[in-house]
Amino acid sequence: MIYHKESTTSTNDDAREGKYTHLDAIWAERQSCGRGQRGHVWLSNEGENLTFSVVLTPDFLPIDHQFLLSEIVALALVDTMSEYDIECRIKWTNDIYVGDSKLAGILIEHSLSGERIARTIVGIGLNVNQLIFPTDLPNPTSMATVTGCKFDRRAILERLLANLEMLYNQLRSGEDTTIQNRYIATMYRLNTTGLYALPSGEHFEATIRGVRSSGHLRLEHSDGTLHEYAFKEVEFVLRRP
Ligand code: BTN
């Protein structure tokens, strides 16, 4: 079920409330403390985009398989955008890109119960009808920017939830390899040489060769050696438009 509200701090906070259950979505027009990955804020013009969180209860999934949840969420966004003729790629770990621009971001938070995942909150910010963005955002885009059309946001959300449910059911049926292979095939910069940065600030060229089921990025360095990086151990360096 979709719960629509005018304003909140962050829909990821709302989604913690026990009254929301599996596949419920909490959608807010305005967030006073919208959160992004790596401690960033998420900015979105009121009434133009989709900022929402979905509750999942994947109690069948061991903690060390949690990257599969990132994968199905990213793929659900890719599938939904393709229904609108927008071709996207997934920038590891789970940014949704059109070309070199960011269309959507995902912030996933888990609560654990022993060795299992009790509740997963999937926060999604999808730029839909916004055409003008703050100049300090590196590379934003929106569905309207890409296509020149305006979109019905609720219809997009409904399709996205249907696609997420389908992928979730695949995950529950144990189709891990299919999901993993689809994610890899859809990766931004797959088999392409690009620039990366280490937390030390050092830059290097490398080629993405896929991702491990643990979520580690596999990068081939220019000397031919393969290296694996956890989230926060490496960053993409983006070309400026
Ligand atoms: C990112 O790319 O940095 C992730 C952005 C996630 C933003 C969404 S908007 C809805 C939900 N509520 C939040 O506070 N964050 C997520």
Q: Whose CA is nearest to atom 7 of ligand 1?
A: 125
Q: Is 95 a pocket residue for ligand 1 (Cβ < 6 Å)? A: yes
User: What residues have CB less than 8 Å from 108, skipping those under 6 apart?
Assistant: 69, 70, 73, 94, 120, 121, 122, 123
The pLDDT of residue 179: 98
User: What residues have CB less than 8 Å from 142, skipping those under 6 apart?
Assistant: 48, 49, 103, 127, 128, 129, 130, 131
Q: How far is the CA of 40 from the centre of ligand 1 (A)?
A: 9
Can you tell me which atom of ligand 1 is nearest the CA of 28? 10
Asked whether residue 154 carries a pLDDT value surpassing 90, the answer given is yes
What the block records as the tokens of 234 is 């490496």
Q: Is 124 a pocket residue for ligand 1 (Cβ < 6 Å)? A: yes
* CA dist., res. 150 & res. 144, Å (int): 6
- Residue 175's CB is within 10 A of a number of other CB atoms, namely 15
Q: Is 8 a pocket residue for ligand 1 (Cβ < 6 Å)? A: no
* pLDDT cut 90: percent of the chain above it: 95
The pLDDT of residue 211: 98
Q: Whose CA is nearest to atom 2 of ligand 1?
A: 105
The preferred substitution site among 40, 42, 121 for testing ligand 1, maximizing ligand atoms within 8 Å of CB, is 42
The pLDDT of residue 108: 97
What mean pLDDT comes out for the span 88-108?
A: 97
Q: How far is the CA of 73 from the centre of ligand 1 (A)?
A: 13
Q: How far is the CA of 89 from the centre of ligand 1 (A)?
A: 18
Going by pLDDT thresholds of 50, 70 and 90, the confidence category of residue 115 is confident
Q: How far is the CA of 108 from the centre of ligand 1 (A)?
A: 9
Q: Is 107 a pocket residue for ligand 1 (Cβ < 6 Å)? A: yes
Asked whether residue 20 carries a pLDDT value surpassing 70, the answer given is yes
Going by pLDDT thresholds of 50, 70 and 90, the confidence category of residue 136 is confident
The pLDDT of residue 240: 65
pLDDT digits (tens, 9 = 90+) for 225-234: 999 999 999 9
The pLDDT of residue 239: 76
Helix 153-172 and helix 176-185, axial crossing angle in degrees, nearest 10? 130
Average pLDDT, whole number, for the chain? 96
What mean pLDDT comes out for the span 184-202?
A: 97
* CA dist., res. 183 & res. 122, Å (int): 17
The pLDDT of residue 241: 59
Can you tell me which atom of ligand 1 is nearest the CA of 35? 14
Q: How far is the CA of 95 from the centre of ligand 1 (A)?
A: 11
For 93-102, b where at least 16 C-beta lie within 10 A, e where not — what string?
A: bbbbbbebbb
Asked whether residue 105 carries a pLDDT value surpassing 90, the answer given is yes
What mean pLDDT comes out for the span 154-171?
A: 98
Burial (0-12, 13-18, 19+ Cβ within 10 Å), 119: buried
Q: How far is the CA of 221 from the centre of ligand 1 (A)?
A: 31
The pLDDT of residue 102: 98
Going by pLDDT thresholds of 50, 70 and 90, the confidence category of residue 37 is very high
Asked whether residue 148 carries a pLDDT value surpassing 80, the answer given is yes
